[in-house]
Structure 1
Amino acid sequence: MVYRSVPAPTSAEIRSWCDRSQIPGDRPELSATAASLIASGFLTPTGRAVVVRRVSSGLPLPTVLAGFGELRRLQRAIAQAESQTSNPMMPGVVSAVMRNRLNGLIRRREDAHKTVVSAKGVFAGSTRAIRRERRENIYLEIEERERLFGGLLYTPTPNAAAARSMREAGGAAVGRIVGLVGQVASRSGNTQAEQWADELLGTSQPEASPPGTASFLDGYETILFLAGHLYDRIVNNPAWRSDHFELQRTQVNLHAELAEISSDVIALRAVRIDLDRAKRRGGFDKDFAQQIDKREEALRPVWSELIDRVQALGEVAHVVESAAVELRILDEYNRAATIDDRIDALISRSGDREVSVDNSKRLTEQVRSGEENLRIYRDVLQGNISRLSPAPSIVLPERYEPDR
């Protein structure tokens, strides 16, 4: 069997991916934990600390049955439907069906909202239990859960912006809507109706990404997804949870690192939105435009630092996966040693001990080699961990206006 680990991306590769808003390769959607930690970037520092503390302690967080990636697609479908129904030129009969479908999508979102905000069975329900959780700083207040749900609506999800989002969320209803559009078009000869049908079916727009590529709305979402993806690769790896890396696990809180990266990315994006808006409105003034350019220039090191922090996560993931290879090999050696012990018992009864001794020496040398490699991985991981977290958190405005 051949064991492989995924090479860590370089900072230049991460920057290029963010510039294109695309990451090569088929990427699984984020785990519920990673999505929640990223969404905690929308919370106040106190609320974010509660989310991190609960994850670190193994306590549950709100989740939805379909997954937060599906919640993101639902939000995209709602945005598309709202855009369609706001068109004053749409035929009345089609608009009525579209509004009915939009109401259905909104009801699904409200069900998810209740699940996350009420969080029955997740947070304390009685007054006494709530007081206890507050004393232990593990109770997420209702206002913070509202913010968490708002963040979860924008969970970084591969190819969530594809034109087919409405069709996937609408199912048979979209077919009925398109049928009505077609009827209107045939009776009136209205080419606009045909364009509406194309938009609903996604036939007039190219796919968001080529096969084998994950696409996102912008570079900020791209880097958030990559950070969450690397987090999942690390924490779900048995090597990271093994005794070999017990010391390293105490030296860095990966849950807090992901939450802080998310908070800084969201704050940075909010500042960039404000700068772009200010430049559009007052860019006619040369001095004002130059001032905006200077502020944008000052933000570039912040973006570079975030890229380096995510790249450090990639290095940790690579080292942990390489160590997992060694652990699996050592496990196979240990199983082989068990077989050799049984063989040794049989051979000892026949008076021949040399084969067993040779096998023991061979296995001992192999295990020592594997353990030496693990020591090397621990040393390398120590250096990678030192690149995480020491930088002070960036204090930026909290306002954030994500694209739909």
Structure 2
Amino acid sequence: MVEQPQVTTAQIRDWCDRSRVPGDRPELTDTASLLIAAGYLTPAGRAIVVRRASTNRPLPAIDGGFGELRRLQRVIAQTEHQLAGPMVPGVVAAVLRNRLNGANRRREDLRKQVVNPKGVFAGGTRAIRRERRENVYLEIDERERLFAGLTCTPTPNVNSSSPMRRAGTVAMDRLAGVVGQVAAKSGSPQAEQWANQLLGVGREAAPLAGATAPGNASFVDGYETVLFIAGHYYDRVVGNPAWRSDHFAAQRTQVNLQAELAEIAADVIALRAVRIDLDRSKRDAGFDAAFAEQIDQRETTLRPVWTELLDRVQALVEVAHVVESAAIELRILAEYDKAATIDDRIDQLIARSGDREISADNSRRLTEQVRSGEEQLRIYRDVLQGNIARLSPAVPRELPARYEPS
């Protein structure tokens, strides 16, 4: 009997409400990051990224993975925010501006690796025409959007690694003024040290109160959390040898996991954008009771969409769970096959020596074990069939311009 999945929809909802996933989670692969970033593209551009990923065509990549790009973008935003503060002393501001310029140059280098990568997209006129006919050529403007989306790659603990996330407060500004006076009297090394503390680098960087505990992965909000969960379990499915085996060849033709992840990302991004617009409208015109009530009704109407997205992600989680369980069965079957090979070799050796005969009971027992393993795999295939049916809703739901959970 197949074990029940360890992650339920209620658990996923709780993780999103807390913007935290338990356990040490690896960063998303390049393919998962690109598919999630494709949610920021137009439907045509998103389909091209999905098609390239599904057919194993080259896709942009950077050294260290796209999580590094997300962290770099965070440093740039934090530094710009700090420089905009009125209390940053000049000697510290000079150090921060120097670092900001270096970070911007690094980001521009990474942008070129995504927008104009070598050996990824067609370069010559004839090759571009051929890729356009095959509908796999991503236009320059779509690549720019893809890079912008990659700067928002769901990355664990990107906000808990630096005290700068609280920069700009009155307390930080006052502290900056005091340390700036000390730095001005003492020289540039102290200013460099203060900049290190501001940016959260070096040994002197003090940890934030309430920072993410070890063994947890924290995120900006519930939307980023659900995107990471979807990408994480997508990686676990496609990276599992059992999914790529002949046993699940039929299931691989029934669902396009790349398209599922990209569409989930597009819907989550649309929900977030709609929620931001609703909150802005309510903040600007919430003094009108009738208008505020109308906005609340729209939020209530959209709320089931969030539940549907959580169900789709949970179905993907179940697929990963079943595939991983099937992988264990496949390893057991492989050991059975190995044992059968050993028995054959022993049988041949005994036949040549004529000393003894192999036990017929052992052979029958091994045969029964192999048949039991094959029956278990059939059960896994049936369970996968149901999970795949849950991934894509029968009637695609059209979202308004762009919303958030609670």
Q: TM-score, normalised on structure 1?
A: 0.89
For 1:111-151, what per-residue CA distance to the aligned partner results, in whole angstroms no more than 9, with x for missing partners? 00001000210010000000000000000000100000000
1:375–1:38 CA distance, 2 compared to 1 (3 A):
same
1:257–1:353 CA distance, 2 compared to 1 (3 A):
farther
Structure 1 Cα separation of the partners of residues 258 and 324 of structure 2: 18
State the SS of the aligned residue for 1:238.
coil
Maintained 8 Å contact 2:155/2:228: yes
State the SS of the aligned residue for 1:154.
coil
Maintained 8 Å contact 2:75/2:199: no
Matched positions, count:
385
**Equivalent in the alignment of 1:127:** 125
1:185 aligns with 2:182: yes
Structure 2 Cα separation of the partners of residues 159 and 253 of structure 1: 30
**Equivalent in the alignment of 1:345:** 348
1:382–1:400 CA distance, 2 compared to 1 (3 A):
closer
Structure 1 Cα separation of the partners of residues 233 and 79 of structure 2: 33
Structure 2 Cα separation of the partners of residues 336 and 195 of structure 1: 65
Displacement of 1:90: 1.1
State the SS of the aligned residue for 2:272.
helix
The match for 1:232 among 213, 216, 235 is 235
- Which amino acid letter does the alignment assign opposite residue 265 of structure 1? V
**Equivalent in the alignment of 2:321:** 318
The match for 2:358 among 355, 359, 365 is 355
Structure 2 Cα separation of the partners of residues 187 and 45 of structure 1: 54
State the SS of the aligned residue for 2:390.
coil
Maintained 8 Å contact 2:163/2:206: no
Superposition CA RMSD, Å:
2.7
The match for 1:102 among 92, 100, 103 is 100
1:214 aligns with 2:217: yes
Displacement of 1:329: 0.4
Structure 2 Cα separation of the partners of residues 9 and 343 of structure 1: 46
Map 1:320-339 onto structure 2 (within 5 A). 320-339=323-342
Maintained 8 Å contact 1:267/1:396: yes
1:90 aligns with 2:93: no
Structure 2 Cα separation of the partners of residues 40 and 325 of structure 1: 33
Structure 1 Cα separation of the partners of residues 359 and 56 of structure 2: 45
Map 1:89-168 onto structure 2 (within 5 A). 89-164=87-162
When structure 1 is superposed on structure 2, of 70-79 and 180-189 the one drifting more is 180-189
Q: Which runs of 5+ in 2 are unaligned?
A: 166-174
State the SS of the aligned residue for 1:387.
helix
State the SS of the aligned residue for 2:277.
helix
Q: Which runs of 5+ in 1 are unaligned?
A: 168-177
For 1:283-314, what per-residue CA distance to the aligned partner results, in whole angstroms no more than 9, with x for missing partners? 11111110010001011100000000000001
**Equivalent in the alignment of 2:199:** 200
For 1:341-397, what per-residue CA distance to the aligned partner results, in whole angstroms no more than 9, with x for missing partners? 111111112335642533322221111010000001001111111101134444335
Structure 2 Cα separation of the partners of residues 398 and 122 of structure 1: 32
1:134–1:344 CA distance, 2 compared to 1 (3 A):
same
Structure 2 Cα separation of the partners of residues 247 and 334 of structure 1: 23
Seq. identity, %: 69
Structure 1 Cα separation of the partners of residues 122 and 195 of structure 2: 48
Maintained 8 Å contact 1:237/1:320: yes
Map 1:226-375 onto structure 2 (within 5 A). 226-351=229-354, 354-375=357-378
Q: TM-score, normalised on structure 2?
A: 0.89
State the SS of the aligned residue for 2:391.
coil
Maintained 8 Å contact 2:351/2:357: no
State the SS of the aligned residue for 1:23.
strand
